[in-house]
A and B are shown apart, each in its own frame.
Chain A
Amino acid sequence: MTKSRREIIGIKSVSKIYNLGDTIVKALDNVSLSINENDYISIMGPSGSGKSTLMNIIGCLDVPTKGTYKFNNEKISDMNDNQLANIRNEKIGFVFQTFNLLPKLNSIQNVEVPLVYSSLGRAERSLKAKKALKIVGLEDRMSHKPNELSGGQRQRVAIARALVNEPSIILADEPTGNLDSKSGTEILNFFDSLHKAGNTLIIVTHEDSVAKRAKRRIEIFDGKITLDE
C-alpha cells in the first residue's frame, strides 16, 4: 500500500548548521526522510531538538546547509527566494500555533491572502475563499475579524487559509498549542477528516495525544531522527 503512493517529500542527508561565531550548532544532522501522498505524520521532539528547523525546511521557509530536498521531484535545496515563495504559495498550507492571522483583515480577506500572491482574479479568489471557509464550517463568520472570533474559530480560519490553494501538504506547527482541549479536539477531528479526504498532513507537536492521531510518528532529538514508525 505504501509503495503505490507517490513520494511528495524526499529529504536526503540534510544538515542545517548554524555558525554562531565560536560555536557551531547542528540543528539538523544528516537527516533523511521520505513522505508520501496522503501520509498523516506527527513530528515530535522536545524544544531545541531540531523539529522547528525540520519543519522550516519542509515548509520551504529555509534551505538546508547540506543534503538535498526534493518536493514533488523538484529540487528545493537549489531554489532562490522567489521560487521558494512560489512553492510555499502553491504547494504548502501552513497552520501555526499562534494562528498568524492578519488582525486587520476579516476572515474571508485572511483566507484570500495566499491567493493574492497567485495570479487569480478577484471574483475567483473570493469564490475559492468562501469555499474554503465553508469546509471549515465558518461560512457565517466571513466578515468577522480575528478578534471577534474564538481561538478555535481563528484556527479554523487559518486552516481554511491553508486549504485555499489546494496544497500538496498541510504543515501544522503545534496547531492545538494555544487552544483549550475542546477546541483542540475539534481541530484534530478536522485534521482526521482532511486525511480521509486524501490530504497529506504533517503535524509538529510535543503532545502525545496529538501525535497518536497520526498514522506515522517521527521523533527527533538532537538534530537526528530517533524514531520513524
Chain B
Amino acid sequence: MNRIINYLIDVIRGVLFYFSQTKLRTALTLLGITVGVSSIIAIMTVLATFEKTTDQIVSDVRTNVFYITRENPIEVSFGDNNKWARNKPKITWNEYEQLKRSLKLIENMSAVVSEEPSDRTFSVGKKEFKSRIQSFWAADGDILSLYKYDIIDGRNIQEVDINNRSRVAIVGSDIKKELFPFKNPVGETIKIDNIPFEIIALTEEKGELAGQSMDSMVGIPISTYLKYFGGNWRRADLQLVLESESIENIDDATDEAIGVFRAIRKIPPGDPNNFYIATNDQLMDTFGEFTGYLKTFVGLITGISLLVAGIGIANIMLVSLNERIKEIGIRKALGARRSDIFLQFLIEAILISLLGGIIGIFIGLSFGNVVALFLEQSPVIPIDWVFYSLQICASMGIIFGLYPAIKASKLNPIDSMRFD
C-alpha cells in the first residue's frame, strides 16, 4: 500500500512539474472546466440561498396557517395547465362567509385581496410615497394576527368597518417614516389613488425579509376595497387565509376545509378541486419543484459545456502526447511499464480537470454568494454540489484522458526514441 501511495505521489509530482513547464496551455485547458463548474456552483449557491430565503418566509408565517386560492400562487405553469387555471372560478365573498360559518377546526380565518407590490399612489397632502408599496391588502381584522403584525397605536379593522365599507387604513412603519416623519399618523388622512382614508392604526416595525421591507404595507377593509378598487377584478381575487387550532391538526383542518369548500361549490365526487389549497409544506414543495426544473436545466447546460471542456482535455492530452513521444520512448527504454505511462497520462488528465474544477468551485461560490449578499443571507456552500462537481471532474478526466493514455502506453520504445 505504501508503495502504491509513494508511486502515486511520484506520478502526481511529475505531472505537476509538467504543468509548471506548460503553464499557458494548462491554464487554457483548465478554463473550460472552470467555466462549467463555476456556473454550476454559482447557480446551485443561488438556489440554496433562495431555498433558505423561502424557508424563512414560510416559517415566518405561522405553520398552522394554510391558504385557499384560485390557483397555485408560485407555480410556474406551462401550456394546458395554465389554461385550466384561468378557467377556475374566483373565490367570492359569499363563499368565504359560507366557509367561515361551516368550518369547525379553524380558529381564525380571513379573506384577503392583495397587491404585492401595488402600483397605486399613496399620498398625504401633496407628498407622495416614493417607492411602490410592497403590500397593499384588503381583509378583515383577523388578518393582522395571521400575518403576525402587531398594532402599536390605534385599533384594528372591525366588523362595523366591513359593514359600512369605511375608508379606514392600517399602515406599516415605512409609511409613518416617509409621510409622517414628525407626527403620529393615527387619525391622519392618507390618499390611495386620491381617495382619502383615515389611518386607524400603525403597526410595529418588522424589518426586512429577503431584501424587502415588511413595513411598506397598507391595509384596508375588504368591503371597502371591493367598492372603490373592485373594478379591477383580475386583481381582486380573494385569497383565504386559515389558521387551524394547532400545528398538529392542520391536516384535519385542511381536509375539512377541502370537503366543505367542495360542498359549497357542489363539486361532484371524483372531479378535481377547482381551487388550490396550500399549506406551507406545499408551498415549499412547489418551490422545490420549480428549483428542480431549474436544476435540471442548469445541469443540461453545464453538461454540454463540460462535454466541450472534456473534448478540450482529450485534445490537449493528444497534443502533449505527440510532443512527448520521445520522452515516453526514453522512459520505456529505462523500464517504464505500460501501466506507468498509462497512469501518468490518466492522472495528468484527472489533475487538469480536478484543478479546473476546484478553481471553478471557488469562483462559483464567490459569485453565488454575491447574490446571497444581496438577499442579505449568510454565505451558503452547496456542499453536495461541490462533491458532485469534483466527481464529475474526476470522471471527465478519466473518460477524456483514457484514449490518449492508452495510446501513449502502447508506444513502442525503439521507434519513439527516434522520434523528433
Residues on A facing B (Cβ under 8 Å)? 56, 59, 61-62, 81-82, 85-86, 88-90, 94, 96, 100-102, 104, 113-114, 116-119, 121-122, 161
3 closest cross-chain pairs (CB), A and B: A89-B335, A117-B335, A85-B337
Residues of B within 8 A of A88 (CB): 333-335
Which B residue sits closest to A59, measured CB to CB? B333
Contact A82-B413, Cβ < 8 Å, known A102-B330, A104-B21: no
Interface size on B, residues (CB 8 A): 24
Contact A100–B330 (Cβ < 8 Å): yes
Contact A82–B10 (Cβ < 8 Å): no
Residues of A within 8 A of B340 (CB): 117
Q: Is the interface of B mostly helix, strand, loop or mixed?
A: helix
Contact A82–B333 (Cβ < 8 Å): no
Residues of A within 8 A of B105 (CB): none
CB distance from B183 to the nearest CB of A (A): 81
Residues on B facing A (Cβ under 8 Å)? 3, 6-7, 10, 14, 17-18, 21, 326-327, 330-340, 413-414, 417
Cα A5 to Cα B337 with chains together (Å): 32
Contact A121-B333, Cβ < 8 Å, known A61-B413, A96-B417, A104-B21: no
Cα A198 to Cα B14 with chains together (Å): 35
Contact B6–A121 (Cβ < 8 Å): yes
Contact A118–B337 (Cβ < 8 Å): no
Cα A113 to Cα B334 with chains together (Å): 7
Residues of B within 8 A of A116 (CB): 10, 14
Q: List 26 A-B contacts (CB under 8 A).
A: A59-B333, A61-B414, A81-B337, A85-B332, A85-B337, A85-B338, A86-B335, A89-B336, A94-B334, A96-B417, A101-B330, A102-B327, A102-B331, A104-B17, A104-B21, A113-B330, A113-B331, A114-B334, A117-B331, A117-B335, A117-B336, A118-B335, A119-B3, A121-B6, A122-B6, A161-B334
Contact A114–B6 (Cβ < 8 Å): no
CB distance from B107 to the nearest CB of A (A): 75
Cα A94 to Cα B6 with chains together (Å): 26
Instruction: Given contacts A82-B339, A104-B21, A119-B7, list 8 more A-B pairs with CB under 8 A.
Output: A62-B414, A82-B337, A85-B332, A85-B337, A85-B338, A89-B336, A96-B417, A114-B334
